[in-house]
Structure 1
Amino acid sequence: MFNGKSIFISGGTGSFGRNFIRRLLEQYQPKRVVVFSRDELKQYEMQQTFNAPCMRYFLGDVRDADRLRQAMRGIDYVVHAAALKQVPAAEYNPTECIRTNVNGAENIIAAAIDNGVKKVVALSTDKAASPINLYGATKLLSDKLFVAANNIAGEQQTRFAVVRYGNVAGSRGSVVPFFSKLIADGAEQLPITDERMTRFWITLDHGVQFVLDSFARMHGGEVFVPKIPSIRIVDLARGMAGHLPHKNVGIRPGEKLHELMVPLDDARMTLEFEDHYTIQPSIRFTSVDVDFAVDKLGEHGRAVSENFEYRSDTNPHFLSVGQIADLHAKLSV
């Protein structure tokens, strides 16, 4: 569906953006790929690797509505990956987080509608489900904005959906590179926030493929949640450096002990498919009248039980220490 099309990626110089673009160029022949981000150094570095004739690099900030409208001209598909996502930083800098994650989402929506974009997929996070921190709260607001945007679009027919998943293995700013640096620097112990802590875990490759699949299966208004494994943070430390002892340092501001991707209150709107869950919109759309139990790919879903929750600590699929070690070895290559 991306052959001969123009694709726009906000936050395109990040870990997800780089891997998404690599997959696009390997599997499709896009007409144009627009990387939109605010860091000129990262764009310069990215141009050394991604220099295909279809590539375009736009400096800009999602807070700037006019620049977004300009950069999105002639675009068919949008991936919104730009965000301020460090939980403690958001707690100490709430206004900045709101301006990027909430106001930026509004600007993406307006620019997409004004330019007649066909489909928009916004990246979300497990922290948006029953949030207790500011980052999660801003992403929940963002999710709600993108779902409601299907009504706002009206006759423009721009369709919006959300992809929500957990921690991305090896992404910049995550715990894996943090542990890796400590190990490389000769640390004598690894800091563990809480030995009971669990997290959802997804590889970049899986995340990229899930977003590509979501473009193909979306009607508009869905929140797509992949079925992915969980890890125990203490097992992650053991898998990366089993010889090092651990030091409990306590949970950081805004952190949860366990993460949640489908809250209990969303169970009545949730459908289970073979490899993912779909949270249906709770509001009625004036321009989208579809059966969400059958997606655009013809996949059929079924309603989950009324007491269903998708939690990192009760997830039936946990990675073992050995599996984590194997995954870390692959990421290190």
Structure 2
Amino acid sequence: MNDILSSKRILITGGTGSFGKEMIRRLLKSDCEEIIVFSRDEFKQELLRAEFSGEARITYFIGDIRDFSSIKRALYGVNYVFHAAALKQVPSCEFYPFEAVKTNIIGSQNVIEASIENKVSRLVCLSTDKAVQPVNAMGMSKALMEKLAQSRGRSSKGTIISCVRYGNVIYSRGSVIPLFISQINQGKPLTITNPNMTRFLMNLSEATDLVIEAFENAEGGDIFIKKAPASNIHNLAIAIQRITNTDTGIQVIGERHSEKLYEVLASSQELQRSQDRGEYLRLSADNRRLDYTNQSEDNFTDNNIDDYTSHNTKQLNQDELEKVLLEIPEIQSSLSKMTSI
């Protein structure tokens, strides 16, 4: 990736989050000219500035993607954009759906249009498995973000606009594993919503690899996904207890607002337009015109193709789960703190 980044300016929206920090670490290994962290929280920017103290290539821009003039100004002279800013919590988006609309839909449209106006070469938008067959406001808002990206990806000649879609990133902010660790430290039972609920699992490094794969290889309107294993939430809780050598119990508390029993990374219709790229799948946009009088049989749905879900992907057994968890630096750090007490 270094050649394509040489002497380039890159902006990350929501750059103070888990993905932003990991992408910054990757970009600092390249010969890029500047990394711009765009976010609205000055305190988180101060924490990030302290974490990357002395890194002259990182600059910080206070702004909000909801404000078109703000993001347009930030993107002046930028070559590449990674769009990670979003409202991601399912329950809060259920209670405040218009906030999800303003950030995930209108804000994303602002990023897309500002990128095109500023002649950004490549824009990668980060989405979620909850955008496929969505049942909650967060997923619906992300699904519309994908549609906006695909729509402009068809018509924009100078800016390649693509999306990536992934499931749960292990130990990312707001995910369940930090909650489990906190509950263990307090001697409380691990709370799970539904023991049979399954989720795709990947670590932050794998999620960042997926974004880079799309960045390097996408055509306008593409969605990239990574083939990922899954686990049910009960086995995940047991694995956390086993690696921490604790048994504070497991408490089933019932499903939260609009949670799905399993997630879908790609629908059967999308898979018909997919390209297998080894670890990844490239889902190309449906670029047919609105004149349906000349359709061919190739456009008929193949009933033999199933959705790609967290129920029918590879399910990690207990030993595999523990191995995956023990490779996460944040979990290693948490275990180290536990043993030092």
Question: What TM-score does the superposition give when structure 2 sets the normalisation length?
Answer: 0.88
Q: 2:137 aligns with which of 121, 129, 134?
A: 134
Following the alignment from structure 2 to structure 1, what is the Cα–Cα distance between the partners of residues 119 and 18?
Answer: 28
Question: Does the CA-based 8 Å contact 1:226-1:277 persist in structure 2?
Answer: yes
User: Of 279, 296, 307, which residue of structure 2 is paired with 1:309?
Assistant: 307
Between the aligned partners of 2:166 and 2:317, the Cα distance in structure 1 is 20
Give the direction of change, closer, same or farther, for the CA distance of 1:220–1:305 in structure 2 (3 Å limit).
Answer: farther
Alignment of 1:81-230 (within 5 A): 81-154=84-157, 157-187=158-188, 189-230=189-230
CA RMSD in angstroms comes to: 1.5
The amino acid that maps onto 1:216 is: E
Take 2:233 and 2:115, find their aligned partners in 1: how far apart are those partners?
Answer: 39
CA contact (8 A) 1:267 1:306 kept: no
Moved more, 6-15 or 46-55: 46-55
Alignment map for 1:213-252 (pairs within 5 Å)? 213-242=213-242, 243-252=247-256
Q: Which runs of 5+ in 2 are unaligned?
A: 290-301, 333-341
Rounded to whole Å, the distance in 1 between the matches of 2:264 and 2:187 is 34
Q: Which runs of 5+ in 1 are unaligned?
A: 286-303
Preserved contact between residue 94 and residue 138 of structure 2 (Cα < 8 Å): yes
Aligned to 2:258: 254
Q: Distance in 1 between matches of 2:304 and 2:27?
A: 39
- How far residue 306 of structure 1 moved from its aligned partner, in angstroms, is 4.7
TM-score, reference length from structure 1 = 0.90
Correspondence 1:16 to 2:16: no
Q: Deviations over 1:50-89 (max 9, x none)?
A: 2411111000111010010110011111000000010000
Aligned residue among 311, 314, 318 for 2:315: 318
Which deviations, in whole Å up to 9, do the C-alpha atoms of 1:248-274 show, x marking residues without a partner? Answer: 111111100000011123232222221
| TM superposition shift of 1:320 | 2.1
Contact 1:72–1:111 at 8 Å: present in 2 too?
yes
Q: Equivalents in 1 of 2:155, 2:239: separation in Å? A: 47
The one-letter amino acid paired with 1:265 is Q
Distance 1:41 1:152 in 2: 38
Equivalent in 270, 277, 283 of residue 279 of structure 1? 283
2:50 aligned with 1:48, yes or no?
A: yes
Q: Which of residues 48, 68, 71 in structure 1 aligns to 2:74?
A: 71
Partner of 2:162: helix, strand, or coil?
strand
Q: Which amino acid aligns with 1:7?
A: I
The amino acid across from 1:195 in the alignment is P
Identical-residue share of aligned pairs (%): 36
